[in-house]
Structure 1
Amino acid sequence: MKTTHIKLTLATAIFLGIFSCKKGEASVNEYSTAEYNNEIAADSVSSVATMSVKDKQFIKTASVNMEVKDVYQTTISVEKSVQELGGFVTHSNLHSNVISEETFNTSDDEAMLVKKYQTENTLQVRVPTQKLSKLLTLINDKKLFLNSRIINAEDVTANIKYAELEGKRIKKTSENISELKNTKDKVNMSDENMSEENQQQLANMDVADNLKYSTVDIYIKEPQLRIAEIAITNTQNIDNKYKFNFLYDVKNAFVEGFYLIQKILVGLVTIWPIALIAGVAFYFYRKTKSNKKSLHTTED
């Protein structure tokens, strides 16, 4: 009988857990395709953003991916709204992806550079947690099309309780160490315990900050390509204009020829030892040849 009671209790707990999980999933993913009609009322922001449970503490984050009419203007508006709500921007990366660019010559001196591009921006902002729902509503008003929106509420109640227990343990350890005799081991243990205490305080500060401020990642882009027409100089005509100058090139050729003659003369002067040796060798060669010819004539 006791075993049967335990099984029924477990079955009930599992059933309630599954029901609770599905209910939570429905809250986060309430933005279904069937409900989407390109208009969301201000009070339709997920209950996750405004959820408050007695004796529970949640770290809330959100991620929004949507298409807007003008990325630059939307960025300015969102950043202004964040500041007005008491938050701040931690990251903003606005850039244009150039799809193609082509230059068209319109006259001998002018041309038109035509760029096709798409602008997008990735922002990360932090806003007071109690203002998260309002910020999401303001962001939603800027959309042309909402690709996705994810809202998370992480229950950190147990983590906070555990941090409190760890703090007490570290404090107790510090008291125990202080009662030990002054030795090298005591110094090392005290140092390690202090380092652990600092890390715990840093973790507590991080949790407290995340509880106070919610982090929202926002990705926005424009659905269609933009075209930029930029007036520039006709570089092709300029290149052709100065590509060849007959009189100037003839003058340079004459000067370079004169310099070439000078270089040849200087080169000949440089090799005078070789010329001297060659002259002496030629002289003795002619003299030897002349002596042989005279000797041959005498013998005849």
Structure 2
Amino acid sequence: MKTTYIKLSLASALLLGIYSCKKGEATISDAEYKSYTEADSAAAIVSDSVSSAATMKIKDKQFIKTADINMEVKDVYDATISIEKSVQELGGFVTKSNLQSNVVSEDTYNTSDETAMLIKKYKTENTMQVRVPTERLGELLTLINDKKLFLNSRIINAEDVTSGIQYAKLEAKRIEKTGENISQLKANKDKVKMGDENMSEGNLQQLANMDIADNLKYSTVDIYINEPKLRIAEIAITNTKSIDNKYKSNFLYDVKNAFVEGFYLIQRILIGVVAIWPISLIIIIAIYVIRKKKLFRKTNQI
């Protein structure tokens, strides 16, 4: 599972903590930290089929957990419904489910003059992304594992963010002190500008802290499932070739059209001849002159 988004969110929280902001801006509080620790400690231990990274619980440590699963199942649709149902029962939610069938081949076979059979060979796959409470991640992975025919890969990440959270708390104290110092400055344009910038930076920090808290509370699981063999779909359709042959030729209609088209052809020829009358006149005159000359020569020879 790629943790780019999570790492960026954490980096944003740490970097934004460097700046000053008004007193009381949101950070990951001691109460929130304690609640996450208690939730992890209270989580039940799942079966040995799940990696320890998914159920790891260490005192005074906090982990952002993610997973990436690629496996083959007997029926993609049934597995999708089952996984989505399990996620909801565990208190999670589905953020993406892209179920599609990739057609490998498609052939049509005529079975009678009216009907035919369309045969499609295809493979079904689904790319999913779900989020589940972190303390229930191990349970979800166990349920998903039960659906597999063959596991291509499974990646589980547990990123230790404890030091980052503690650093954010230290920065919160510094920010509070800086905010007090700003409030004691003499009122002028610079103070207004600094206050506005601090408020904007504080809002960004609050958003980053919310992302960190959300990623601690919910684990993200990317799932790719497909079927190992091709499926075949038999679809009854109309025999289009028979329909085409039925209306391909109509003798009386075609004869009528041929007669009319022949009449129009004669008209076009006559119009063409009339259109080139100067050329026709020149040719006639040339023929007449040539014949006259030949006749005059024969007369002289006699």
Are 1:157 and 2:176 matched, yes or no? no
Alignment partner of 1:66 out of 71, 74, 97: 71
Are 1:125 and 2:130 matched, yes or no? yes
Identity among equivalent pairs (%): 79
Q: Deviations over 1:108-143 (max 9, x none)?
A: 111111111111111110011111111111111111
Cα offset for 1:70? 0.4
Number of residues of Structure 1 aligned to a counterpart in Structure 2? 236
Q: Which protein has the larger Cα radius of gyration, Structure 1 or Structure 2?
A: 1
CA–CA distance in 1 between the matches of 2:251 and 2:188?
A: 94
Cα offset for 1:258? 7.0
Q: Which residue of 2 aligns with 1:99?
A: 104
Q: Deviations over 1:30-59 (max 9, x none)?
A: xxxxxxxxxxx9333111111111111001
Alignment partner of 1:191 out of 190, 196, 221: 196
CA–CA distance in 2 between the matches of 1:264 and 1:220?
A: 70
Alignment partner of 1:166 out of 163, 167, 171: 171
For the Cα contact (< 8 Å) 1:167–1:200, is it kept in 2? no
Pairing 1:1-300 to 2, within 5 Å after superposition: 42-254=47-259
Report the TM-score, using the length of structure 2 for normalisation. 0.70
CA–CA distance in 2 between the matches of 1:44 and 1:265?
A: 92
CA–CA distance in 2 between the matches of 1:183 and 1:212?
A: 43
SS for the counterpart of 2:187 is: coil
CA–CA distance in 2 between the matches of 1:169 and 1:200?
A: 14
Q: Deviations over 1:60-117 (max 9, x none)?
A: 1111111110000000000000000100000001111111111111111111111111
Q: Deviations over 1:177-230 (max 9, x none)?
A: 222223222222112111111111111100110111111111111111111111
CA–CA distance in 2 between the matches of 1:263 and 1:168?
A: 98
> Pairwise CA RMSD of aligned residues?
2.8
CA–CA distance in 2 between the matches of 1:226 and 1:178?
A: 70
Cα offset for 1:253? 4.7
Cα offset for 1:264? 10
For the Cα contact (< 8 Å) 1:118–1:222, is it kept in 2? yes
For the Cα contact (< 8 Å) 1:89–1:125, is it kept in 2? yes
Q: Which residue of 2 aligns with 1:15?
A: none
Report the TM-score, using the length of structure 1 for normalisation. 0.70
Residue range with higher mean Cα deviation, 184-193 or 60-69: 184-193
Q: Which amino acid aligns with 1:162?
A: Y
What are structure 2's unaligned runs of at least 5 residues?
1-45, 279-302
For the Cα contact (< 8 Å) 1:170–1:193, is it kept in 2? no
